Amino acid sequence: RSSLLSRSQQIHLNSDLKTYLMQNCSGEPCVLSAREWVKDHAAAYVDKELSSSSVTTSNAVQSEDIMFTRLWIYSHHIYNKQKRKNIIDWAKELSLSGFCMPGKPGVVCVEGLQSSCEEFWSRVRRLTWKRILIRHREDVSLEGGGHAEVQKQRKFSTLEEKCFDAHGARGNHMDLGQLYRFLEEKGCADIFQMYFGVEGH
């Protein structure tokens, strides 16, 4: 596969390669032969429709939708200082905004470009957790995909750690009423029920 090949060129190249391999490499290891054949012949398939295909590929790239994503992550608890630091550092590195509420339960919200959110989630879930999952996700297609479009979708300006009057033996149980009011301010009150299965107030 190659971004330089249209679908029809790709099908044509693959079927010719298959024919070559069946005639010349039946029952033997053939990766090197296939590689050599592609090196020698691929350019011809690209050149065949180059003038028409280059126009379509450049249009396709421009019209491809850029997605804005918001992930609502739930964890059984978030106490570990290193994990908390990672969450903030990675969000900053990936230009994500949102918040992290440590304690029990742990709540993390990140928002930004879809690819950055996916990368963040893939890093976070590789850490050791008792339980962690994406409770809810929001995806919005951005027409232009520019910086201004992304900023317009954000509900949070940066990613910060939010503690809501911790109580409990280790000072780790958050006041969920305050969390609800915080979400309400940000226009995300309906998320509370998705996390905790009850209406907030």
- Domains present along the chain, CATH in parentheses: 7-47 (no CATH), 67-196 (3.30.70.100)
Q: Rounded to an integer, what distance in angstroms lies between the CA atom of residue 27 and that of residue 174? A: 65
Determine if the peptide bond prior to 105 is cis (ω within 30°): yes
Kindly indicate the confidence band of residue 89, based on its pLDDT and cuts at 50, 70 and 90.
Answer: very high
List pLDDT tens digits, range 143-180.
766 778 888 899 999 999 998 876 665 556 778 889 99
The pLDDT mean for the chain works out to 82
Task: Calculate ∠ Cα 180-182-150, nearest 5°.
Answer: 120
Given the DSSP bridges, would you call strands 106-113 and 66-75 parallel, antiparallel or unpaired? antiparallel
54 falls in which pLDDT band (50, 70, 90)?
Answer: very low
